[in-house]
Structure 1
Amino acid sequence: MPPHHPPLSRLPRWGQDAVIASGYFALGSVLYSAGLHSLLGGEHIPMWTRYALLGVLCSLLLLRRRAPGLLLCVALVPLGVDAALGVTVPMLLAFGDTLYSATLYGSRRLSRAMVTLTAVGALAASVIALLLVPDWRIAVLAIVVYVPFVAIPVWWGTDIRWHRELTETERANAAQLARIAELDRDAAVAAERARMARDLHDVIAGHLSAIALQSEAALSTTDPKAARTVLTSVRENSVSALEEMRTMIGLLREHGTGEVTAPARLAGLSRLTESARASGMRLDVHTDLDPATPLPAAVDLTAYRIAQEALTNAVKHAPGAEATLTIRHADGVLTVEVTNELTGSAHAGESGTGLLSMRERAAAVGGTFAAGPGGRGWRVHAALPVPEVAA
């Protein structure tokens, strides 16, 4: 159901001001015609003078939104003339709207000053009434009647303005929160895409690279036994790639919040080394890991993926070369290091997705990563902190 809007709010602002000004003039005319306009004398004043003053003041109300400060200053002139001739209710009603407009539509400084000006004006008018009116009882009665004409519009305008500013502030805060939530969602999506790209590269590309290199070796060898060994490794890599891809797809379909990656650990390091050797690499492995001391899952997985990617790069860029894989755990740090000789076809300065992926994985667990020429070959080094397990 569409929201209901009052008919006046459907008009443009100048139209609303014209209707309000006309309403005050119509109300004042009724009071003048009924003789309910006088507060402090002035009955001998011709009525056309009263209508003229009211018309001038109501015409000035067309400025109530566009120039409320100017309206307030200029409106004092007809009000002062009316007060000199004898204060009337229609003029006070119309002037009350100028106070209301200055408080609600004026600048913040003017709105705040209206409270002080109203208090000072009411006090001054009270003192003048007590001094000029012979009968103090009539003076007090005039004060009681006059003060609400001045105080109520200012109080009402202040209250409405406060609620409007509060609503605008809440709306701005809601918009900012929505923008922050949108940025957080974008960042989360970007981070998830980067993580999925890293996992696809490490999990699938590593196996496919090994399969491509090993199948090439199988095609070039004439030794049936060596060819069978290579093809066995090709099958193992194919099955591993298929299993890990199924695991990743299953995690994605389950909308899991954990890391979208296959459950690989250093306990399965032998498959990596056998695959690298089947590709023709002469690989030495040195590790001092204690099977009885489990590593945190994140550190274990990161170390495995870094070793996997480093060996894959070594096989790809230095086929048939000597390489060394060293994994040590000491002083709360797990160190993974892969060094290999540089052959004539190696690209020592190459930097691509693999190095970026290894660096991101090490940083994700608070570790450090470095890769570059070292000694007589290429060196990949990762230091991963291992949190102490509370007893």
Structure 2
Amino acid sequence: MKEAGDVWSAVADRPRSRDACVSLAFLALGVVLYAADLSVIGGNTGTPFDLPRWLGLVTLAAACGAQSLRSTAPGIALTACVVVVALDTAVAQSISVWLVASDVVYAVALYAGRRTVHTMYAALGAIAVLAFASVVAVGAGWQTVLLAGLWTLALVIAPIGYGRAIAEHRVAAAGERERSAILAQLADRDRADAVAEERRRLARDLHDIVAGHLSGIALQSAAAMAAGPASPITAEVLASVRANSVAALGEMRAMIDVLDGDDRAGDVLDTGSPAASVRTASLRRIDHLVTTARTAGSPVVVTPEVPPDLPPTIDVCAYRIVAEALTNAARHAPRQPISVALDADGAGLTLTVRNAVPEDTAAVTVGGHGIANMALRARAAGGHCTAARVGDEWVVTAHLPTADGQDVP
């Protein structure tokens, strides 16, 4: 069941419904005054034409009909209400009609345009001067003039002042809202400029420092491989260092392009030909990760083959998670066997990385950056990832739905 405040709020959002409710309220007030025998100004002493009192209800209904246009057509409402007040003054002199007129004057001051408000000032001023002149002409005492002035102050001047104050407050509030919106846009623009400048600074640092070091590693490993014969293990290690440094350079270049403003360059390595762009982070390149782990002394088994036609988001996310899991396994459990299982179905891709944990190995601290990053990447792709010790093994499990459309950080 709706509260009364909710009902009134819904009505207030519709001007016609609101005006109708106000008109009905004034009509009910007029009927109550009529029933209480308090409807005539100055008491029930009759009218100049000795007409029946119920004519006051007719003029009240007419005034309320004009009042129903108080916000949708305030100029028409004021004109009609002035005519009704003039007629009522002659035939009934009803207090309730003057109350309706006071509300209409307030509504014109609040809702009408500047030209209509100025026209109302001129018309009401002329009517007031004519009314006071008539009162003085008939020889009324100063008490009657004072009473007429108080009625004018209470029923005309005060509603006008109150309506104009609210109208000016609304204009000021609208100006403040517009100013706040402009300031918010400027703040967003400044924030975007600051982020873009920081990204460009990071791109410069990556290009000048990190990429330079990786280039040096790649050149030195190539020089060591060309220097002469070496043992099979040394040759394999040098080849792995060379391959990983070149791959890292490719990913570094893609990252620099992204930071420098080309968001489409993420996880892409341009090999020189427009048709030869390949994604550097892909399960199709999992052999590089496996080679690195095997070179570190950890035997790795991948079953089954990499699923084909994975969505790019899932492909990149799965590659990153496998890379982090293999790195952690080789670091915390060196020379222990590692298994990577890839299971793709209609619902998504499930990957599981297991490695044996020796009994003398200290417990891995849960909540490190690597584990947190894997969970974050999985959530960004719409899935989830867990990492925990199960018996004598450390198990990383990630489920990634195949629905594309998420961005991978």
TM-score (norm 1): 0.50
CA contact (8 A) 2:66 2:77 kept: yes
In structure 2, give the amino acid aligned to 1:71. A
Match of 1:170 in 2: 176
State the shift of 1:120 in Å.
Answer: 4.7
State the shift of 1:46 in Å.
Answer: 1.6
Which ranges in structure 2 are unaligned for 5 or more consecutive residues? 229-237, 253-409
In structure 2, give the amino acid aligned to 1:13. P
Aligned positions, number? 228
In structure 2, the CA distance between the partners of 1:108 and 1:142, relative to structure 1 (3 Å rule), is closer
State the shift of 1:170 in Å.
Answer: 2.3
CA contact (8 A) 1:130 1:140 kept: no
Which ranges in structure 1 are unaligned for 5 or more consecutive residues? 223-230, 246-391
CA contact (8 A) 1:114 1:154 kept: no
State the shift of 1:200 in Å.
Answer: 0.6
In structure 2, the CA distance between the partners of 1:53 and 1:108, relative to structure 1 (3 Å rule), is same
1:52 to 55, 58, 66: 58
- RMSD of equivalent CA atoms: 3.5
Match of 2:132 in 1: 126
1-structure distance, mates of 2:66, 2:157: 21
Match of 2:18 in 1: 16
2-structure distance, mates of 1:81, 1:114: 19
Deviations 1:99-151 (A, max 9, x none): 11111111244346545554454334322322245445434323333432111
1:31 to 30, 33, 43: 33
CA contact (8 A) 2:53 2:92 kept: no
2:109 to 103, 110, 120: 103
CA contact (8 A) 2:60 2:96 kept: yes
Match of 2:211 in 1: 205
1:88 to 65, 89, 94: 94
2:149 to 133, 137, 143: 143
1-structure distance, mates of 2:109, 2:27: 22
2-structure distance, mates of 1:9, 1:119: 36
Q: Does residue 193 of the first structure (1) align with residue 199 of the second (2)? A: yes
Match of 1:340 in 2: none
2-structure distance, mates of 1:113, 1:213: 88
CA contact (8 A) 1:129 1:143 kept: no
1-structure distance, mates of 2:6, 2:85: 31
2-structure distance, mates of 1:64, 1:25: 14
In structure 2, give the amino acid aligned to 1:18. A
Where relative contact order (Cα < 8 A, 6+ residues apart) is larger, the structure is 1
State the shift of 1:98 in Å.
Answer: 0.8
State the shift of 1:81 in Å.
Answer: 1.0
State the shift of 1:7 in Å.
Answer: 5.3
In structure 2, the CA distance between the partners of 1:4 and 1:200, relative to structure 1 (3 Å rule), is farther
1-structure distance, mates of 2:175, 2:33: 42
CA contact (8 A) 1:9 1:16 kept: no
In structure 2, the CA distance between the partners of 1:168 and 1:198, relative to structure 1 (3 Å rule), is same
CA contact (8 A) 2:55 2:92 kept: no
Q: Does residue 61 of the first structure (1) align with residue 63 of the second (2)? A: no
Match of 1:161 in 2: 167
In structure 2, the CA distance between the partners of 1:47 and 1:115, relative to structure 1 (3 Å rule), is same
2-structure distance, mates of 1:198, 1:4: 63
In structure 2, the CA distance between the partners of 1:6 and 1:164, relative to structure 1 (3 Å rule), is farther
2-structure distance, mates of 1:115, 1:159: 15
In structure 2, the CA distance between the partners of 1:213 and 1:168, relative to structure 1 (3 Å rule), is same
State the shift of 1:179 in Å.
Answer: 2.4
In structure 2, the CA distance between the partners of 1:5 and 1:103, relative to structure 1 (3 Å rule), is same
Deviations 1:193-212 (A, max 9, x none): 12111211111222333443
In structure 2, give the amino acid aligned to 1:47. R
State the shift of 1:26 in Å.
Answer: 1.5
SS of alignment partner, residue 47 of structure 1: coil
SS of alignment partner, residue 14 of structure 1: helix
TM-score (norm 2): 0.48
In structure 2, the CA distance between the partners of 1:10 and 1:195, relative to structure 1 (3 Å rule), is same
